[in-house]
Structure 1
């Protein structure tokens, strides 16, 4: 099974999905039967026959739908939660260990925005849409089947004409809605990333940084609001057109049937009794077609989520050699692979990497992490989001560094410790404390460090 199919399977083919759709079918079937029982009730009443069985059945058809209706909303929430759990677990597992992607800032922004801010809302909206979409289809289809048993056949013709006209409009609008939805969703990701930068740019009070951030935020805001407005305008224009396509043919046929010469009074009564239901169905048809248009937008949002994982499958290779002069324990590095071999053959020791900015020091750590895999822990220079067991928010930078290294030292399976400028922003006391820990660590394991 390819990646795309597997991704959709883990969203749609879940236990709660089956229960939700089953309950929706039961719910809509009971609702549709109410028109049948109401019509038979009126016919029995007019003819003087016993109408009590139809009355009881009609009352039951009005009351019982609440049970499967409420239950389906509960299972829908279970479906949403299961889908999000599967998605979040899958994305974290799929991206694990792709060290060569770590410095791709564009991909980082997309993944963090998708994972932390967009995924639950997008999946919730998408699955709720499917729930409403299936409900509308069943409501319209089952109701028309019931009414076709009760009303003149030409009303079905009108309904069919409405469906064909609506389908034609869908085919004309679908591509444009999809493109505009994708543009709006991608712009929203960039906009939300800009919004997430409020803390440093605003709270620090640096006017220069604040003004630059504001300009960047406002530019992305204008792009997103403009694209979302154009998307909504396109969808609502289509919805208005669909309303006319849905209503006009059937309205004409209903009026023709009522005013036709010699029509039976029982038929007129049946048409009038079910007129509200017919227009409700036609309104549902208009809503259904609008939902189909909206499905394109919903699908585009979910595709943005799934494409984030697919981008990790695109091949990316780490460089084989440094861009400038890089020294390891004062020896020049010509090929990264030679350093990997030296480190692999070392049971203990301390290796210090030095070089100018942009020469390839951090890249060497990434190459080593890729080669050493789970035997190594890489701590980048900016690692505030890494999860630790012992770190407290009340600790200073130095205290956090000490507690993190002690935590790493307590895990014997970690044979290699890769540190990127660990001594940056540390005072003399904490630098000495960290240095002592690293010295002890390197007595029976390996430390590879970039020094500030």
Structure 2
């Protein structure tokens, strides 16, 4: 199962990136607090001037560290995205039942789409932001409490306690609305290609029906987006109360008894103190963000759950006709059940399956592939299995290229070759050439082919 941290892939470049971020944060925090400490301790002008020079030097050093951090962030994100693709392919491997399922194809397309990649990117951004904000805020609180105003640590503790209570009691609110939004968004995206063919063909009646459906899904998506926005903003407002009230109360309580130097020191460190509170606010917003991402990742989990499907129930051997090519002629072969078909595959030869539409010819081939696994090679009927290496090919030319690639890949690697309507979209000349190649391959392999023709194509009959 995916988790936010697993999606973010915290290793290698990620650790180096976080280290650079922490060094950059330290360059911003340490010199400002140190300068405030020198003022509050009533040190001489020389030491204060040294503190100013240190402040300027470290502030400048933060820029190259920032560049290094963002460069490493690029490596981190690209590595996480590649790992996501590879994991998605690994998780969906072996789902032979989905090979002829257009819904399964759409689902996988949505899984690895730009939206899936956005979730990966958001997970990386979450870990990156939380690590930086947590380090900077804790360092600031520790330094300010030690050298300028000790009560700030108590205010920070109250803020953390109140925020933890808020997240515990209301954390499911933004998470649930984010899950609702993610599902609505993906339903909206999945609807977009459905009207393409009707629109291209100028079928106005079909398009008007599609646009009504599209409008309903758009409305659902908009309601989900507004609901998620209201949940996030409401939660953030409650967090702001938890963050600012304790520190404001401490400053109001301490201010009447502060000396002039303490007031000056507080004034010097005030920008960093305010920045720390803002970082705490952003940190808690990231916790809310985490709940939202976790809700979105739940959609990825659902998409990767293996769907059980019994291919053996999708075909009827009683409606199918089996034949074997012997001595340049096709002879019918009686089959009592699926076990007889599997037994036939143990010997080399060229076998054909025919039958009416809906009788389960493709499902039978897929079931054989599911059973034989790596021992069999399956070439689909409608999709192009091999990546395109050349543009401008017609459907028949691509089919011919894929078929020849399949035959080349099968030689010496598998014992059974499953061809689903291999002769579709091929002209007679190419059909005869490929058929001759299949005849040759059938001398050493069991070749099972599906065709809508009365008899499969043959080079000699």
- TM (norm. structure 1) is 0.88
How far does the alpha carbon of each residue in 1:324-355 deviate from its partner, in whole angstroms, 9 at most, with x for none? 512212445442222011012x2122x22122
Judging changes above 3 Å, is the alpha-carbon distance between structure 1 residues 361 and 136 closer, same or farther for their aligned structure 2 residues?
same
Moved more, 106-115 or 287-296: 106-115
Partner of 1:337: 339
Q: Would you say 1:175 and 2:166 are equivalent positions?
A: no
Q: In 2, are the aligned partners of 1:348 and 1:445 still within 8 Å (CA)?
A: yes
Q: 1:398 aligns with which of 393, 396, 402?
A: 396
How far does the alpha carbon of each residue in 1:329-385 deviate from its partner, in whole angstroms, 9 at most, with x for none? 2445442222011012x2122x2212222222111101221233334322222213x
Q: Would you say 1:276 and 2:267 are equivalent positions?
A: no
Q: Would you say 1:379 and 2:372 are equivalent positions?
A: no
Q: In 1, are the aligned partners of 2:25 and 2:136 still within 8 Å (CA)?
A: yes
Q: In 1, are the aligned partners of 2:140 and 2:276 still within 8 Å (CA)?
A: yes
Separation of aligned partners in 2, 1:376 and 1:130: 44
SS at match of 2:378: strand
Separation of aligned partners in 1, 2:141 and 2:7: 34
Judging changes above 3 Å, is the alpha-carbon distance between structure 1 residues 434 and 338 closer, same or farther for their aligned structure 2 residues?
same
Partner of 2:459: none
Judging changes above 3 Å, is the alpha-carbon distance between structure 1 residues 217 and 440 closer, same or farther for their aligned structure 2 residues?
farther
Separation of aligned partners in 2, 1:139 and 1:321: 60
Q: In 2, are the aligned partners of 1:418 and 1:447 still within 8 Å (CA)?
A: yes
Judging changes above 3 Å, is the alpha-carbon distance between structure 1 residues 424 and 409 closer, same or farther for their aligned structure 2 residues?
closer
Partner of 1:88: 85
Moved more, 29-38 or 289-298: 29-38
Q: In 2, are the aligned partners of 1:326 and 1:359 still within 8 Å (CA)?
A: yes
* Structure 1 residues not aligned, in runs of 5+: none
* Structure 2 residues not aligned, in runs of 5+: 324-331, 453-461
SS at match of 2:354: strand
How far does the alpha carbon of each residue in 1:388-424 deviate from its partner, in whole angstroms, 9 at most, with x for none? 466x442222222222222223341254332223344
Partner of 1:58: 55
Separation of aligned partners in 1, 2:232 and 2:7: 29
How far does the alpha carbon of each residue in 1:241-287 deviate from its partner, in whole angstroms, 9 at most, with x for none? 221221122223212322x1x53111111122222222222222222
Q: 2:406 aligns with which of 405, 408, 421?
A: 408
- Aligned Cα root-mean-square deviation (Å): 2.8
Separation of aligned partners in 1, 2:195 and 2:67: 41
Separation of aligned partners in 1, 2:202 and 2:438: 38
Partner of 1:236: 233
Deviation of 1:52 (Å): 2.9
SS at match of 2:171: helix
Q: Would you say 1:327 and 2:324 are equivalent positions?
A: no
Moved more, 431-440 or 328-337: 431-440
Separation of aligned partners in 2, 1:75 and 1:148: 33
Q: In 1, are the aligned partners of 2:84 and 2:120 still within 8 Å (CA)?
A: no
Partner of 2:369: 369
Q: 1:224 aligns with which of 209, 221, 225?
A: 221
Separation of aligned partners in 2, 1:176 and 1:62: 40
Separation of aligned partners in 2, 1:382 and 1:225: 36
SS at match of 1:257: helix
Separation of aligned partners in 2, 1:221 and 1:427: 45
Number of corresponding residues: 441
Partner of 1:185: 182
Judging changes above 3 Å, is the alpha-carbon distance between structure 1 residues 178 and 365 closer, same or farther for their aligned structure 2 residues?
same
Q: In 1, are the aligned partners of 2:33 and 2:269 still within 8 Å (CA)?
A: no
Separation of aligned partners in 1, 2:314 and 2:157: 68
Q: In 2, are the aligned partners of 1:340 and 1:371 still within 8 Å (CA)?
A: no
Separation of aligned partners in 1, 2:80 and 2:19: 18
SS at match of 1:410: helix
Separation of aligned partners in 1, 2:314 and 2:281: 62
In the TM superposition, 1:287-302 aligns within 5 A as 287-302=282-297
Partner of 2:327: none
Judging changes above 3 Å, is the alpha-carbon distance between structure 1 residues 333 and 218 closer, same or farther for their aligned structure 2 residues?
farther
Q: In 2, are the aligned partners of 1:326 and 1:355 still within 8 Å (CA)?
A: yes
